[in-house]
């Protein structure tokens, strides 16, 4: 029962829902999530740890970069995520998406790099290893 309470607590937090919505696009590096939210990395990491503790996201490390994605290994939790996101208007997440896209285009172009971290080919897959559709 404690596991269920942890999941529902995680899904009742607005920031957690916003992070999950971004992760619906596919795996993201912490730096991308930080850019989308416009807050510091420690705050984002705090929220990601809560989502991971609830079993809603998984992480992996590649070099010095941490990547997160929705953990789709538990169908019940995946269904809960889909059910919650379905009830929230897409407009709610518009600013997060715009900040993420702005970061990807302007900041990364200024750095002369295609991505802030890691290999896009590795990042753009589902947990089962299937490639995601292009954005």
Q: For residues 8 and 10, give the distance between their C-alpha atoms in angstroms, rounded to a whole number.
A: 5
Q: Which of 25-34, 102-111, 115-124 has the lowest mean pLDDT?
A: 115-124
Residue 85, token pair as written in the block = 């996101």
Residue 83, token pair as written in the block = 């059910």
Which pTM does this prediction carry?
0.77
What does pLDDT average to over the chain?
84
pLDDT, tens digit, for every residue of 11-27?
999 999 999 999 998 99
pLDDT, tens digit, for every residue of 41-65?
999 999 999 999 999 999 999 998 9
As a CATH number, domain 2-123 is 1.10.10.10
The domain segmentation of the chain, as residue ranges, is 2-123
Report whether 52 contacts 46 (CB < 8 A).
no
Degrees, nearest 5: CA angle 71-75-78: 55
Report whether 53 contacts 13 (CB < 8 A).
no
């Amino acid at each position: 029962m404690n596991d269920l309470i942890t999941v529902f607590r995680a899904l009742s937090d607005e920031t957690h829902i916003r992070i999950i919505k971004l992760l619906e696009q596919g795996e993201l590096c912490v730096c991308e999530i930080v850019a989308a939210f416009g807050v510091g990395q420690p705050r984002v990491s705090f929220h990601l740890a809560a989502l991971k503790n609830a079993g809603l996201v998984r992480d992996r490390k590649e070099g010095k970069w941490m990547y997160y994605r929705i953990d789709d290994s538990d169908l019940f939790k995946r269904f809960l995520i889909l059910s919650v996101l379905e009830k929230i208007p897409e407009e709610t997440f518009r600013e997060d998406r715009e900040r993420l896209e702005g970061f990807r285009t302007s900041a990364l172009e200024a750095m002369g790099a295609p991505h802030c971290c890691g290999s896009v080919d590795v990042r753009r897959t589902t947990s089962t290893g299937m490639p995601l559709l292009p954005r």
